Amino acid sequence: MLTAIATGSVLTTAGCANSRTDEPRSGALSTVTVEGTELVVEYEPGTDATQLAVIGPSGEPFAERALTPGASRETVPIGTAYSPGTYTVQLVDDDRVTATVEQELRPEIVIRELQLARNHPEEMFDGAGNFTIATEVIVTVENLGTGPEELTKLRFEGEVPRPTPEEMAGSGIMAINRPVRYANPVIGPREVRTLYSRSFPFSPNSDTVECTPEGTSGQFTVALSGDIAEEVVEQEYTASYRGENLSNCQITVERVGT
């Protein structure tokens, strides 16, 4: 979200102050967008401004860049340790703010789809073993927000064969083709990502559910945590089990609600 603002108050940048009472608007600032983990600022190459300043939600300086004469684009790393909120982007000429816009940086993660790998082996990553395919889950997530998010926990709670242990040290998200067990993937604004669980939620050994010829069913919750928003996104599903046992069981899942 890009919003032009006007102000007659004193604006503080990283080492620059505006002591004039004119009203800066978006002016030479063309667009401010977020690409991955970077804030991308495009401006008119003929601007008289010499600096770019970004002010955080608290009013403290977040970043400052000296503008290259004739250039029209600057990138500011956001990373995955920023505070969500409204950031103010300013073009500065000496002690005067010549243009300013606001940019909201806030992730919004949603769970789009859940598939059992055992029912969709073609959707698994190359090299996935038989036990991984039989026990893990494919989760599709999307960031509807305006800032990047680092995903830190994927949990399964309720009536699944193996609910995620409370003491699990890692994220529960599988690291693909990496020499580590777990991953903390970063998802940018408007990005869709496929995650693979690494906690065996549909293990053939269970003290929680059973699979019988008559069929059983239960409800479970998929919970996804992020480092920036500091909130847990949850989605409920029902699972139906039919077969001789969990090693030879037809399992189907269905999303609860919209």
Q: What is the pLDDT of residues 203-249, one digit of tens each?
A: 999 999 999 999 999 999 999 999 999 889 999 999 999 999 999 99
Full residue range of the structural domain in which residue 214 is found: 109-255
pLDDT at residue 27, as a whole number: 75
Give the pLDDT confidence score for residue 111 in this predicted structure.
98
Contact between 102 and 3 (Cβ < 8 Å): yes
Sequence-distant (≥ 6) Cβ neighbours of residue 78 within 8 angstroms: 34, 37, 38, 39, 105, 147, 148
The reply to whether 100 and 113 lie within a common domain is no
**Considering 71, 89, 105, which residue would you say is the last residue of a domain?**
105
Same domain? For 131 and 208 the reply is yes
Percent of the chain with pLDDT strictly greater than 70: 90
Structure tokens at 81: 């340790």
Q: Are residues 132 and 248 in the same domain?
A: yes
Last residue of a domain, one of 105, 126, 153: 105
State the average pLDDT over residues 54-79: 96
Q: Are residues 75 and 62 in the same domain?
A: yes
CA atoms within 13 A on the CB side of 199: 27
pLDDT at 169: 86
Residues 250 and 176 in one domain: yes
Among residues 236, 257, 258, 216, which one has the least CA distance to residue 155?
A: 236
CA angle 238, 228, 86 (to 5 degrees): 120
247/151 same-domain check: yes
Query: What global pTM score does this model have?
Result: 0.85
Q: What pLDDT is recorded for position 9? A: 31
Average pLDDT, the chain: 89
Query: Do 128 and 82 fall within a single domain?
Result: no
**pLDDT value, residue 1:** 39
What phi-psi label fits residue 150: left (phi over 0), alpha (psi between -120 and 50 degrees) or beta?
beta
Residue whose C-alpha is closest to residue 244's, from 203, 223, 221, 213:
213
User: Looking at the structure, do residues 74 and 195 belong to the same domain, yes or no?
Assistant: no
At residue 123, does pLDDT exceed 60?
A: yes
Rounded distance, CA 129 to CA 137, Å?
13
Question: What's the rounded mean pLDDT across residues 170-192?
Answer: 94
CATH number for the domain that contains residue 74: 2.60.40.10
pLDDT for 24: 52
* Tens digits of residue pLDDT in 68-121: 999 999 999 999 999 999 999 999 998 899 999 999 999 999 999 999 999 999
- What pLDDT shows up at residue 72? 95
Quick one: 81 and 142 in the same domain? Answer: no
Same domain as 43, residue 116 = no
- Total count of domains within the chain: 2
Residue at which a domain ends, from 88, 105, 122: 105
- At residue 25, the pLDDT reads 67
Is a pLDDT exceeding 90 seen at residue 178? no
Same domain as 151, residue 215: yes
CA end-to-end span of the chain, whole Å? 26
61 and 15, same domain (yes or no): yes
Beta bridge partners of 104: 86
